[in-house]
Every structure is written in C-alpha cells, then in structure tokens.
Amino acid sequence: MRTITLIPGDGIGPSVVEAAVRVVEATGVKINWDRVEAGMSALESSGHLLPARTINSIKKNRIALKGPLATPIGEGFSSVNVQLRKVFDLYMNFRPVKSFPGISPFKNVNILVFRENIEDFYAGEPQYVDIENTVAELTGTISYRNSYRFFYRAFNLARANKRRKITVGHKANIFKMYHGLFLDAARDVASQFPEIELREEIIDALCMKLVTDPTKFDCVAAPNVFGDILSDLCAGLVGGLGIAPGANYGDSTGIFEAVHGSAPDIEGKNVANPTAVILSAAMMLEHVGEVDAAYLIRSAIERIIEDKKFLTVELNPEGVGTIEMTDAIVEKVSSMQELRKRLSGVGRN
C-alpha cells in the first residue's frame, strides 16, 4: 500500500479534498493517507504556516495531494505555495485544460500548460529604493540550467501525451537576454524531440490567439509570471478554475493540487465545486502508475458533467451540494468499475 501525504488546506479545502479521497477510494486503489497541515490551519495549531511535520511527510512520501492554502495578509508571511516550491525544488507547474460539453465557452479545447515554477520575478525580493518609499524595484532571474530541465520535462510530458506541438510564450523582443535565455533552452531541448514542433509566440500575441481560437494549440509553455497568467487564462477557456487540475513537479517530488483559492466565504456551506481537486487526484494516480484508476475518475466526471443533474451551483445554478456531487461521482466510478470487472470475466471458464 502506497503512503501519500494529504494536506486538507484552508477554507473549502477540507471539503473538496475529502471529496477527492472518497473518489480515489472508489477506484479500489489502496492508499494510506498521511494527513498533515499547512496554511492558516497549521498556523493556528502549531504557530507555523509550513510545519516541520508536513515537510518531513512530503520528503518521505514524495507525493502529496493538497487543498488550497491561505496565507495571512501582512509583512512577515510568505506564500505557503511558494515555500513548498522552494523547499522541494518544484520547477514545473503542469495544468492540463480540457473543455466539457455544456459548461465550457469553447468546444474541443485540450491544452497542456507548462509553467516554470521557481524562477523569474516571483523568486525576487522586492525593495524600496528611495527614502520616502515611493519607488520600488524587483529583480527577476532566469537560468539556462533550470530552463533546460523545465523544457526537458515539458517535452517528455508532451511526448507521453502524444502531443505534436509546444508553443512558448515570451517577450524576448524586449527582454532580449532574459527571455532569450529561456528560448535558447527551449530550442536546445526541442532538437532532441524531432517529432514535436517548437513554436515561439510573443506573449501578447499568444494571449490574443488563445482567446480567438484555442483549438489551434496543443501545449503552451512560459516563464513563471507569464505562465501563471496563461494557466488561468486557459482555465477560463474551458469553464474556470473550478474544473482545472494542477501538479507541481520536481525531480523527486510531486505535489498535486486544485489551482483555485480557499474561498473562505463559502466554507462550510456545501456549495464548493470539488471537480478540480478530484481531477488533480486523477493526475496523481496516473503519476504513480494507476492509469486505469485515473481513467475511471476522468470518465466518471465527464459523464456527470454531461448529465448536468449532479453539479454544484458553480456549474449549474440549480445544482446540488458538494457532498451530493461527490456521491454521484463515487457512484459512477463504482458502477464503471463493476462493469469493467464483469466484462473482463466474459468468456472465462
């Protein structure tokens, strides 16, 4: 039995993570969940946003499923998500976005979004440069080494998913050395994957083309800041963050998460959409080799969304609660699992 770190998170986190746990268990995959805390819940119980117990659990298990985390507003507190990326060297954020009939603004969208995750301006230290604190500066860093390993992973994921094209968003026409270095790494890696076409698009033009006809894109990759923006833009193309799963990869660690926030305003109201974190759990299962279970979950969600009867209010104004939608997905996974067992026994003596 595999042990996986489970971080329920803040706000709606515990309810949607529990939904994901129930769905995973319905597939029959045996997992020992090591439950730990991070974010505001951890701060209240231990005085730390990211306790040592949580770090040690992830180090030991190498795989984690987590809910959305909140960070208190004010000086002295850095983002827990950023801390996790630094501690575990999670240099890639991977967000697949796929349209669902009936709820997505665009049809036939199926894009893999690759975001560099630990460099760029997000890794810089902002500071005021005048006595009156009226001028601030922030320095970003992009390295060839990190960009190279980011693209190497991106191209391997594209190959594993039978993709044929990666479009890199950049601003190398202005940031000539900064994004130029990022593109150099992309070109060098692309030369090792002749079956995958590398395309380069200036970021503003790329955004315009994505919202004009996203079906023309296969995979999209970008530096950290632009990648953050692009990943949310692409989620909007298929219906929003509530149906967008995500993963953070390092060389030895994977942390899987819904990309939406903790939504404290709807905490405890049984209205949160659990789809994103359940799909993130499916990504996690695929990552650890449970491909059939991941397929079951995705197929069940597609059928539940197509039916529209058991969707939360985010997806259907006349919808049901978080628990009721989870019940429907669990039932669908279980019935599909049972059907597969029966069919696999047909013709056997």
Mark whether 91 is an active-site residue: no
Residue 75's pLDDT is 55
Tokens representing 169? Answer: 């968003």
In angstroms, rounded to a whole number, what is the distance separating the alpha carbons of residues 115 and 223?
6
Mark whether 184 is an active-site residue: no
In angstroms, rounded to a whole number, what is the distance separating the alpha carbons of residues 29 and 6?
15
Q: Is the pTM of this model over 0.85?
A: yes
| Phi, psi torsion values for 113, nearest 5 degrees | -105, 120
8 A C-beta contact, residue 305 and residue 102: yes
Neighbouring C-beta atoms of residue 167, cutoff 10 Å: 20
8 A C-beta contact, residue 14 and residue 8: yes
Asked if the domains at 1-91+241-349 and 105-238 fall in one CATH topology, the answer is: yes
Q: Which residues of 282-296 are buried (b: 16+ CB within 10 A; e: fewer)?
A: bbbbbbbebeebbeb
**Closest by CA position to 117, among listed 141, 90, 96, 95:** 90
Distances in Å between the Cα of 226 and the Cα atoms of 82, 98, 215, 233 are 16, 20, 20, 10
Enumerate the domain spans of the chain. Answer: 1-91+241-349, 105-238
Query: At the fourth CATH level, which superfamily is domain 1-91+241-349?
Result: Isopropylmalate Dehydrogenase (3.40.718.10)
Residue 349's pLDDT is 46
Determine the CATH number of domain 105-238: 3.40.718.10
In angstroms, rounded to a whole number, what is the distance separating the alpha carbons of residues 218 and 222?
14
8 A C-beta contact, residue 234 and residue 113: yes
End-to-end CA distance of the chain: 31
Residue 134's pLDDT is 95
Amino acid at 283: M
- Please state whether 261 falls in left (phi above 0), alpha (psi between -120 and 50) or beta: beta
Mark whether 122 is an active-site residue: yes
Catalytic residue among 66, 120, 228, 332: 228
pLDDT by position in tens, the chain (length 349):
899 999 999 999 999 999 999 999 999 999 999 999 999 989 888 988 999 999 999 999 999 999 999 877 765 667 889 899 999 999 999 999 999 988 999 999 999 999 999 999 988 888 999 999 999 998 999 999 999 999 999 999 999 999 999 999 999 999 989 999 999 999 999 999 999 999 999 999 999 999 999 999 999 999 999 999 999 999 999 999 999 999 999 999 999 998 899 999 999 999 999 999 999 999 999 999 999 999 999 999 999 999 989 999 999 898 899 999 999 999 999 998 877 777 766 544 4
Residue 102's pLDDT is 84
Catalytic residue among 34, 66, 91, 171: 171
| Phi, psi torsion values for 8, nearest 5 degrees | -60, -35
| Dihedral of alpha carbons 35, 39, 44, 47, sign | positive
Three-class SS of the chain: CEEEEEECCCCCHHHHHHHHHHHHHHCCCCEEEEECCCCHHHHHHHCCCCCHHHHHHHHHHCEEEECCCCCCCCCCCCCHHHHHHHHCCCCEEEEEEECCCCCCCCCCCEEEEEEECCCEHHHCCCEECCCCCCCEECCCECCHHHHHHHHHHHHHHHHHCCCCEEEEEECCCCCCCHHHHHHHHHHHHHCCCCCCEEEEEEHHHHHHHHHHCHHHCCEEEECHHHHHHHHHHHHHHHCCHHHCEEEEECCCCEEEEECCCCCHHHCCCCCCCCHHHHHHHHHHHHHCCCHHHHHHHHHHHHHHHHHCCCCECCCCCCCECHHHHHHHHHHHHHHHHHHHHHHHHCCCC
Residue 303's pLDDT is 94
| Phi, psi torsion values for 94, nearest 5 degrees | -120, 120
Residue 122's pLDDT is 86
8 A C-beta contact, residue 189 and residue 148: yes
Mark whether 228 is an active-site residue: yes
Biggest distance spanned by C-alpha atoms of the chain: 85
In angstroms, rounded to a whole number, what is the distance separating the alpha carbons of residues 335 and 26?
10
